[in-house]
Structure 1
Amino acid sequence: MSSPSLPERFRSLVDRHQLLRPMDRVLLAASGGLDSTVLAHLLHEEGYTFGIAHCNYGLRGADSDGDAQFVGALAARLGAAFHVTTIELPRAGGETIQLQFTARTKRYKYFEKILDEYTYDVLCTAHHLDDSLETMLINLLRGTGLSGIRGIAPRTAFPVVRPLLEASRAEILAFARSRELYWREDASNASTNYLRNALRHRVVPLLREYGLQDDGLRGTLSHLRSAERLLLRGATREPAFVRTGPVLTWDRAGDELDPVDALTVLRLLSPDTGFTAEQYRQMVYSEGTTRLSSRTHEAFVSPGLVRLQPLAPSYGPHTVRELPYEVHLPGLGRLLLDVVPPPQQLKTAGTQYVRFPGFPLHLRPRRNGDRFAPLGMEGRTKKVKDYFTDAKVPPWERDATPLLCDADGHIVLIVGHRIAEPYAVGNEGKDVLRVRLQRQGPDPS
């Protein structure tokens, strides 16, 4: 039985995983190399409406400019829209893991901008079977779990699809030669100074020599991805793990899972958060309270609870010079300030009333050493840090909760919590400052 042709592999993967629909507007990420050039021709032959996006990093001088010109000409020949940008990267130290991470981050930010601006439905990349194998080997060397050895997924969030994922590099090359296609060769791909290239040129040929076949690799990766899906389906039913929008909470105190199993579930339910293996280990085995951060997420760990969430953007500081005033506090909700007559009832859920201290007012995050005189403590002061601890304010709310200060920097109140004694409302009959925090509801899961 003959092997499927490259177009047949393309159509089979697209249909099985519903990667592309006939009406989709597709954005192809293209470098000008063999893989993306072949994929551009396949998209054209299969009748998709698509554009091509290229990022010029300028790291190889005239060769980089030549790549951009080649991709532009390719787009013109295939009747595709062409989007190109120049991305500046630090040159010191040569190509490093950090440089690659920076390049990828900027590249995908550009793709996201083009997807939105030109209303493309999906981003298409030319990753293939050999890329999946190399990724598996890299992850094995660094230490990984199931998600690291099942190779590259056909579809990921963004949305990104990879319709060549079951085609080998040899099949792609054979297709290109049969159609007499031209492409650009990056000389750095021949270097073995970088891990992926070293595996590609030294290790993978040995695996082939010892009997690794493409069909066997396809089957193995398919079974591993299936096992991951089944495990994920079961993990999402673990009652101790609750996802609310982008936030994952693990009730350690009420969980009966073995720590090793809990570690597996925690990693499976939090892909693409950037935490290291050691950080995950601390989440499971730490007996105290700690806070862990990656480039994109943070984890709050206590003896009874672990909470993973995206890093919240800073909300301030803000200076308030007129009322009414409204601002969104990331992670908390909407804050509204205005002046009203003294209310009959000072204790209202979500609302604080204080003597109006005049303008300007300042909203700012807490700082080390902050102290205030909480109402009811007869003028004695207390550290804001100690107040949060005693009031059992969740660790993930402490940095997100601002302080309202007067023109001299004295703390008037902790938003949503306690006012300071000097600003307590008396019997003067004057208008008062009303501070309302409308907490945001949980994000839909």
Structure 2
Amino acid sequence: MVDKALSYINEHSMLKSGEKVLVALSGGPDSVCLIHILYNLQEKLNIQCFAAHLNHCLRGEEADKDEAYSEELCRRLNIPFFSKRVDINALAAKRGISVEMAGREARYEFFDEIKNKYQIHKIAVAHNANDQAETILMRFMRGTGSEGLRGIKPIREGIFIRPILCLSREEIEEYCRINNLNPRIDKTNLEDIYYRNKIRLQLLPYIEENFNSNIISTLNRLAYLIDSDNDYIQEQVDINYNIFCNANEEGLLIHKDAFKLHKAILSRLIRKAYNEFSGIHSNFQKVHVDDIIFLQKQGTGRSINLPGGICAENRYYDIYFFKKDSKGELVFNEKYIIENINDIKSKLYEGFNIYLQDFRLNLNIKRLELKPSLNLKTNNTTKYFDLDKIKGSILLRNRKAGDRFSPLGMKGSKKLKDLFIDLKVPQDKRNDIPLLCFDDDIAWIIGYNISDKYKVDKNTKNILQIKLESEAFFE
């Protein structure tokens, strides 16, 4: 397995002689296998290993044991070790994002601190072949294009490398057993409460047993083939971007002749233009690409709103991107989740998932009966509501003018704009915060608070549990 990882590292030119490599070490089997393999390759590759461990403070004593294990392992291997503790729940609330996303941001900020201080060249993370397969299946079921089916890339931004992406989870566990590494096990990975965990624990084993016993390697092979094809397409996109796109500080123009290109090239060119101009690399979906292509066929002067406060305008059949000022119209999305909850209340006991592409969120909705044993502990991604207080539709949308909200524990309501000011939400972030609404009444400001109107109280008999999961973790 060391030789297999070495071959993969060399195939993708991940490391150069003399480089310093920082390993993201959680203490679990994947990262422990990764650091041990790189430790064994230090002399052959002429590299120097470092390790970074972030304690998320989410699992109490178990998290502390993960940190202690990681430190002791690095002491035995004589690898410099860095650790940091961050209250991820508090960070998620402060930034108005999910706990998962807050954890990811905290980790990469910590890695960046060490990288800058110790002149680190590469940061190694421990994604494996199973992670790749899970990612491809998850994206496939959400309707991704070929770009998404490339899966997890071996190298990102020329800095982040994944040396054991070629190893299966079974191979990793065998490596840890043979080398008596005894890694830590995060029990939450064994619970099928998250979308990815359900794919890992239910869907993939079912496919292996009933359809293809080598599904992990098959999906990894698919990712490799699509990656090769996409590299060629991206080369053509880059060539045409330089021909048809012009940018300055005020805006970016896509020349009308670009819209004669094959749609496989055009759609990627539009996405590249948006990413380059806005600096945003998420929340820009196929629907936005299609809207821009349609806009180009309309009359001059027509415009549409895009995520991140960007406007696209038809200027004599050229498309011009520019940033709206603070007085510009709101970027508005609205998606119904349930048209009429009274029609399906009896079916909610089984629960269901819905993926909202415009918001890049997966929602799990389920009905619960109030019992003494029921644990109603909430966090930024799980909330509970009194089901019998909900009379009509459930939808997700962005804010709009005149919105009011009744924060938990407050009688009456206040303007959503004033609440965002109180919460110190940056102005450029406010339009992108999803709002879960019952009819058109805001019930949950995602990442922040729920409404007092729909809280669970002493008179509650039936509970609606809503969990959400963001897509961004494996990018």
Aligned partners of 2:256 and 2:148: how far apart in 1? 29
Aligned partners of 2:120 and 2:250: how far apart in 1? 28
Aligned partners of 2:61 and 2:311: how far apart in 1? 48
Aligned partners of 2:175 and 2:251: how far apart in 1? 45
Contact map agreement 1:136 1:150 (CA 8 A) in 2:
yes
Aligned partners of 1:181 and 1:154: how far apart in 2? 25
Identify which of 5, 12, 19 aligns with 1:10: 5
The one-letter amino acid paired with 2:228 is S
Distance 1:250 1:138, change over 3 A: farther
Distance 1:152 1:246, change over 3 A: farther
Aligned partners of 2:34 and 2:124: how far apart in 1? 9
- 1:292 corresponds to: 306
Structure 1 residue 199 displacement after superposition: 0.3
Q: Which runs of 5+ in 1 are unaligned?
A: 1-5, 313-445
- 1:282 corresponds to: 291
Aligned partners of 1:302 and 1:234: how far apart in 2? 25
Q: Which runs of 5+ in 2 are unaligned?
A: 326-475
> The residue matched to 1:217 in structure 2 has which SS?
helix
Distance 1:25 1:260, change over 3 A: closer
Matches within 5 A, 1:150-229: 150-157=150-157, 159-209=159-209, 210-213=211-214, 214-229=216-231
Contact map agreement 2:125 2:161 (CA 8 A) in 1:
yes
Distance 1:159 1:189, change over 3 A: same
Structure 1 residue 247 displacement after superposition: 11
Distance 1:103 1:54, change over 3 A: same
Aligned partners of 2:86 and 2:265: how far apart in 1? 43
> The residue matched to 1:31 in structure 2 has which SS?
coil
Distance 1:161 1:69, change over 3 A: same
Distance 1:200 1:74, change over 3 A: same
> The residue matched to 1:109 in structure 2 has which SS?
helix
- Residues 383-421 of structure 1: CA deviation (Å, up to 9, x unaligned): xxxxxxxxxxxxxxxxxxxxxxxxxxxxxxxxxxxxxxx
Normalized against structure 1, the TM-score is what?
0.62
The one-letter amino acid paired with 2:314 is P
Instruction: Indicate whether 1:263 and 2:258 are aligned.
Output: no
> The residue matched to 1:50 in structure 2 has which SS?
strand
> The residue matched to 2:57 in structure 1 has which SS?
coil
Q: Which structure features the higher share of helix residues?
A: 2
Structure 1 residue 306 displacement after superposition: 4.5
> The residue matched to 1:192 in structure 2 has which SS?
coil
> The residue matched to 1:303 in structure 2 has which SS?
strand
The one-letter amino acid paired with 1:18 is S
Distance 1:261 1:157, change over 3 A: closer
The one-letter amino acid paired with 2:284 is T
Structure 1 residue 291 displacement after superposition: 3.8
Structure 1 residue 60 displacement after superposition: 0.7
Distance 1:80 1:279, change over 3 A: same
Aligned partners of 1:301 and 1:72: how far apart in 2? 51
Aligned partners of 1:152 and 1:89: how far apart in 2? 25
The one-letter amino acid paired with 1:12 is S
Distance 1:212 1:285, change over 3 A: farther
Paired residues in the alignment total: 302
Contact map agreement 1:241 1:249 (CA 8 A) in 2:
no
> The residue matched to 2:240 in structure 1 has which SS?
coil
Higher RCO, Cα 8 Å, sep 6+: 2
Matches within 5 A, 1:30-429: 30-47=25-42, 48-90=47-89, 98-157=98-157, 159-209=159-209, 210-213=211-214, 214-238=216-240, 241-242=244-245, 249=252, 251-255=254-258, 256-257=260-261, 261-267=265-271, 270=275, 273-277=281-285, 278-286=287-295, 287=298, 288-294=302-308, 299-304=310-315, 305-306=318-319
Percent identity over the alignment is 24
Distance 1:18 1:273, change over 3 A: same
The one-letter amino acid paired with 1:274 is S
Aligned partners of 1:246 and 1:168: how far apart in 2? 47
Aligned partners of 2:313 and 2:294: how far apart in 1? 10
Structure 1 residue 74 displacement after superposition: 1.2
- Residues 49-97 of structure 1: CA deviation (Å, up to 9, x unaligned): 111001111011111111111111111111111111112222699xx98
The one-letter amino acid paired with 1:136 is I
Aligned partners of 1:308 and 1:124: how far apart in 2? 36
Aligned partners of 2:118 and 2:17: how far apart in 1? 18
- Residues 279-333 of structure 1: CA deviation (Å, up to 9, x unaligned): 3333333352234234xxx543111445669999xxxxxxxxxxxxxxxxxxxxx
Aligned partners of 2:122 and 2:323: how far apart in 1? 24
Contact map agreement 1:299 1:307 (CA 8 A) in 2:
no
- 2:451 corresponds to: none
Aligned partners of 1:243 and 1:166: how far apart in 2? 40
Structure 1 residue 99 displacement after superposition: 1.8
Structure 1 residue 150 displacement after superposition: 1.2
> The residue matched to 2:21 in structure 1 has which SS?
strand
State which structure, 1 or 2, has the greater radius of gyration over its C-alpha atoms.
1
Distance 1:243 1:26, change over 3 A: farther
Aligned partners of 1:197 and 1:8: how far apart in 2? 30
RMSD: 3.0
> The residue matched to 1:182 in structure 2 has which SS?
coil
